[in-house]
Structure 1
Amino acid sequence: MTAITTTLEMPRPAAAKVRILETATELFYRVGIHAVGVDRLIGESAVTKATFYKHFGSKDRLILDYITAQHVRTREHLDELVHTTRDAEQTLNALVSAILADIASPTFRGCPFINAASEFPDELDPVRGVISRHRDWYTGFLAGLLQNLGHPMPGDAADELMLARDGAMSGAYAGDPIAASAAFARVAERVVLDATAAKVEHTA
């Protein structure tokens, strides 16, 4: 008797669709979203115009998929940090190290979300909606780590750490990456020390 599979499997995206999105991800981040036209995307993805429009319909749809994919990638990365570290302090330290490693990369061009926001000034644009939800989630993730760490004001500290991260990524790309990285590391260290001091005071 043939077994019946009850688990539904999501179909894998077509290779051409994946290739277009990967090409867009590289070009949008390196060159800029508005600077890359559909013809260039089609040419560098090695697909036909018909294939491009079959999978995305328009460049606007591709842009939304690009920025959404950046959020999913970030979320998966932070989830992996949580599962590969022993506690909130180690997770936060690993996150800071990952940000510093990104800044030091020769392909670093700043934060993709801040870059995208600068190209879409209309707050009602769907792209800005994805960016806003991403930033809310990211700040909430930091607040959760800091709460687990015992910080007395995890929400405020998360806002401070997020702002320091934004400044480091923007400042590193526009100016001195070494100075920006050092400043961010100092802020992160102080936030952790504040939490540690509060925990010691609470248990004293």
Structure 2
Amino acid sequence: MPSPGRSAPRDHLLTTASQLFYSEGINSVGVDRVLRQAGVTRATLYRHFAGKEALVVAYLEREDQMIQAIWSTGLGHAVSADHALELAIEGVATDAHRHHTLGCPFIKAAAEFPDPASPVRRVIGEHRAWFRAELRRLLTEARRDDVDAKAETLAMLRDALMVGCFLGDPDAIRRTFVRNARWVAGLR
């Protein structure tokens, strides 16, 4: 079923493009391949997106929305500020270990779109700003000191986790991330 206010062809096209972009890389997947795989016409693409870059932006915006929804649902079970930090750390670890096994879609897209002024990099920057703000909020609510430095460190650890799960032993990387993230967050 399409999202409210969206068409089934648009959602199908975006789902197909998202799967291809994530698994094979954005620049290595041409528009013709996306159209062929989705079974839609070029007119359908241009009816919903101005071009490939707009499709990439929509892919990353959708990733961001899904991550934010999972984040808020997961943290909705917290019984304390420390518990919220624990749930956040476990949620990030689980996401990398189970759902983003090929790395972070935002880091991968940033590597393919080096222009910091591009619409793609804008979406990436917004996602990363949201994540850091959420970390600062959780650390502040847990009454930690030096929340800016700790939030930056936790964000950096997440980046390492996402890349590490793709390149190395996901179980070992997950354990290392959780141990170090708990330490940075002041969890015993």
Alignment TM-score, normalising by the size of structure 1: 0.84
The number of aligned residues is 186
Which of the numbers 138, 153, 160 marks the counterpart of 1:160? 153
Amino acid at match of 2:145: P
User: Which residues of 2 match residues 30-179 of structure 1 at below 5 A?
Assistant: 30-105=23-98, 108-179=101-172
Q: How much has 1:95 moved relative to structure 2?
A: 2.2
- Tell whether the 8 Å contact from 2:74 to 2:91 is kept in structure 1 after alignment: no
Query: What's the CA shift string for 1:48-69, capped at 9, x where partnerless?
Result: 2211221113111111111111
Structure possessing the higher radius of gyration over alpha carbons: 1
> Aligned residue for 2:21?
28
Contact 2:75 2:88 in 1 (8 A): no
Moved over 6 A (4+): none
- In 1, the alpha carbon distance for the partners of 2:63 and 2:52 equals 16
- Give the conservation status (yes or no) of the 8 Å contact 1:23–1:45: yes
Check whether the contact 2:18–2:59 (CA below 8 A) recurs between aligned residues.
Answer: yes
Residues 107, 144 of structure 1: CA spacing in aligned structure 2 closer, same or farther, 3 A cutoff? closer
Cα shift at 1:21: 0.7
Unaligned runs of 5+ in 2: none
The alpha-carbon deviation at position 116 of structure 1 amounts to: 0.6
Asked if the contact 1:164/1:184 (under 8 Å) is kept, the reply is yes
Residue type of the alignment partner of 2:185: V
- Tell me if structure 2 keeps the 8 A contact 1:20–1:52: yes
Instruction: Report sequence identity in percent.
Output: 34
Residues 84-106 of structure 1: CA distance to partner in whole angstroms, max 9, x if unpaired? Answer: 22222222222222222233338
State whether residues 168 and 180 of structure 1, in contact with CA within 8 Å, keep that contact through their aligned partners in structure 2. Answer: yes
Equivalent position amino acid for 2:111 in 1:
S
Is 1:16 aligned to 2:27, yes or no? no
Deviation at 1:22, TM superposition (A): 0.8
Counterpart of 1:200 in structure 2 is none
Counterpart CA distance in 2 for 1:91 and 1:107 is: 22
CA RMSD between the two structures? 1.9
Q: Deviations over 1:113-147 (max 9, x none)?
A: 11111111111111111111211111010010011
Partners in 2 of 1:57 and 1:161 — Cα distance? 36
- Cα deviation code 1:22-78 (max 9, x no counterpart): 111111111111111111111111212211221113111111111111112222222
Q: Residue by residue, what CA displacement relative to the aligned partner does 1:167-203 show, whole Å, maximum 9, x if unpaired? A: 1111221223233212211112212336x7xxxxxxx
